[in-house]
Structure 1
Amino acid sequence: MPSDESGREERTPIASLELLLDAQLEGRVRAEWEALSAAGLSSLAAHTSPSNRPHVTLLVRDAAAALPAAEHLAQCVERLLPLPIELSGLVLFGSGHRRVLARAVVVTEPLLRLHRDVHALAVEGRDSDRPHTRPGEWTPHLTLARRLRIDTATEALRALDEVPATDPATPMAGEIIGLRHWNAATSTVTDLSAPFPEGGIPPAGPRR
């Protein structure tokens, strides 16, 4: 069952719109997933589905709520992509003894514009939007672990420090290259960067 930003399980099936990274930056994030896993810590590396990819979530709402037609979403973002992206420090979200561990994304005006444009297009159904993804409340990030025990945070930092790609002299930077739609109610993911017929978000294969 998916978790929200606090690390708690979502009881209502959700849908989300997610930005995808170029292959090189995705590889660096995956290396951090693997480092956490190798240290015996919570990590998204535990989700072995091929569609479990590093991503930046733009919008989360109830799966039953309306979303714009797929072609309209694609048109909304394609004029802004590829978009430069840089990752920065580690952040913890949530409360209690388990937290979400993530890499913060450096906020830029083009990124905020893309976020605003998508939400402006997705007005219908916004009543169920999760607050942490709304304009003005959004903290862009890439999740590394969803249920990290707070007493293992030091171990997690140590494990990530040993990943060569996290050298401070080598910024974790790249490009946002695509958009996808995840529907937890049907366990499907749809690539909105690929050509598709008109008529809304099409069927897709299982995510996990």
Structure 2
Amino acid sequence: MAHSIEILLDSDTDAAIRDQWHSLEAADLPSAGRVRSGTNRPHCTLLAGTSIAGAADPALGVLAQRLPFALTLGGALVFPAGRRFTLVRAVIPSAELLSVHATALRLAGPQVTDLAAHCGVGDWTPHVTLARRLTAEQLVTALQILAWPTIAGRATSLRRWDGDAKTEHVTAGRAC
């Protein structure tokens, strides 16, 4: 099971993504909101691998001092996965976001076993997942039923997700 270090979103942005998940579910389409038996929450993954040592937590504490910061969600992106597709909202790569990603990679990356290649600097595409394993027909329907306005949000905290134990360790950003 995957383990990850993720950026969590402010409550309004979280709610906007959950609304999109619910729209997909209402249309009987796959939704990221159904993943992990309802334990999923909207997020932007910084790093992922087969395991992450708890020794990464002090690095997350340091990194969380960079939060909150502005985070803008753009339009749809589609990642092909064989004959299926993953539908996501693009996260516009600001200088702050790219810096936080590079710092996470430098500070916590050594604690990630089998770091996913798509998490490296220059290979990372920041996004928030809406649905996985869509057929081509489902993808067309999803693109038609969802609205795609730009969402001006905030990155508020970091989460280390343990996919084996299905537990999270959340590190809040500064409360200012």
* TM-score between both structures, scaled by the size of structure 1: 0.76
1:24 to 2:24 alignment: no
1:77 to 2:64 alignment: yes
CA shift, 1:83, in A, is 1.0
Q: Render the CA deviation track for 1:21-55: whole Å, top value 9, x for unaligned.
A: 00001111111111111111111232475642100
CA shift, 1:126, in A, is 5.1
SS at match of 2:105: helix
SS at match of 2:154: strand
- C-alpha separation between the residues in 2 aligned to 1:155 and 1:32? 13
Q: Render the CA deviation track for 1:37-88: whole Å, top value 9, x for unaligned.
A: 111111123247564210000000121x54544133112231x111101111
Matches within 5 A, 1:10-159: 13-47=1-35, 51-63=39-51, 66=53, 68-78=55-65, 80-125=66-111, 128-159=114-145
When residues 45 and 28 of structure 1 are mapped into structure 2, their CA distance, relative to the original with a 3 A threshold, is same
Is the 2:55–2:111 Cα contact (8 Å) retained in structure 1?
no
Is the 2:75–2:89 Cα contact (8 Å) retained in structure 1?
yes
Letter in 2 for 1:74: G
Q: Render the CA deviation track for 1:79-106: whole Å, top value 9, x for unaligned.
A: x111101111101112322111100110
**Structure 2: gaps of 5 or more residues:** none
SS at match of 1:124: helix
Letter in 1 for 2:64: V
Looking at CA atoms only, which structure, 1 or 2, has the larger radius of gyration?
1
Count the aligned residue pairs. 173
Q: Render the CA deviation track for 1:153-175: whole Å, top value 9, x for unaligned.
A: 221112103xxxx4x4xx31110
SS at match of 2:146: helix
CA shift, 1:185, in A, is 2.1
Looking at secondary structure, tell me which structure has more strand per residue.
2
Letter in 1 for 2:29: L
Letter in 1 for 2:57: A
**Structure 1: gaps of 5 or more residues:** 1-12, 195-208
- C-alpha separation between the residues in 2 aligned to 1:129 and 1:27? 30
- C-alpha separation between the residues in 2 aligned to 1:46 and 1:119? 29
- Equivalent residue number for residue 159 of structure 2: 180
Higher normalized contact order (CA 8 Å, seq sep 6+, divided by chain length) = 2
- Give the CA RMSD over aligned residues: 2.0
- C-alpha separation between the residues in 1 aligned to 2:9 and 2:111? 27
* TM-score between both structures, scaled by the size of structure 2: 0.89
Q: Name whichever of 96-105 and 21-30 sits farther off.
A: 96-105
SS at match of 1:40: coil
CA shift, 1:184, in A, is 1.4
Letter in 2 for 1:82: P
SS at match of 1:45: helix
SS at match of 2:121: coil
Is the 2:81–2:133 Cα contact (8 Å) retained in structure 1?
no
